[in-house]
Amino acid sequence: LDQYAVPESLSEAYASGYGDLSVHEVAVDPLRDDTAYLAYYSAGLRAVQIQCPSPDSTAGCQLVEVGGYIGPEGNDFWGVETFVRDGETIILASDRDYGLFIFQDP
C-alpha cells in the first residue's frame, strides 16, 4: 500500500538530540477504518488516513497525515487507544513524560 514517516525523521536537523522518531503503537479509529492514530515517541501523536483514488482498488493508495499533536515542551508518546463515546471517537495517548492525554476526533 504505502509507507509513512514523520517529516522530522527525514530531516538532518533532527538527526541528533531530538529523541526517538519512530512509531511505537497504532490504534485504528473505530468509526472510520481508513484512519489510524500513531504514538510516535518524540514526534508526538499523529493521525494518518488511507486515501485511495478508487474505492474499488488499493492501487495508488497513500497514507496521508491528517492531524497530530506535539506539546510545546515536546512529548514522548508511548501508547494510543481509541474508543467511541456519544458517537465520537476519543483518543487516549500515554506520554512517558507528562501522563495521559485525551483527545476528541474533530
Provide the pLDDT confidence category of residue 99 given band limits of 50, 70 and 90.
very high
Is 68 in contact with 45 (CB distance < 8 Å)?
yes
What is d(CA 10, CA 29) in angstroms, rounded to the nearest whole number? 26
**Domain residue ranges of the chain, discontinuous segments joined by +:** 19-104
Q: In whole numbers, what is the pLDDT of the chain averaged over residues?
A: 93
- The yes-or-no verdict on residue 88 having pLDDT over 80 is yes
Sign of the Cα pseudo-torsion (6, 12, 13, 16, in order):
positive
For the stretch 32-85, pLDDT in tens is 999 999 999 999 999 999 999 888 888 899 999 999 999 999 999 999 999 999
Average pLDDT in the 9-15 region? 87
pLDDT number for residue 56 = 86
Rounded to two decimals, the pTM is 0.88
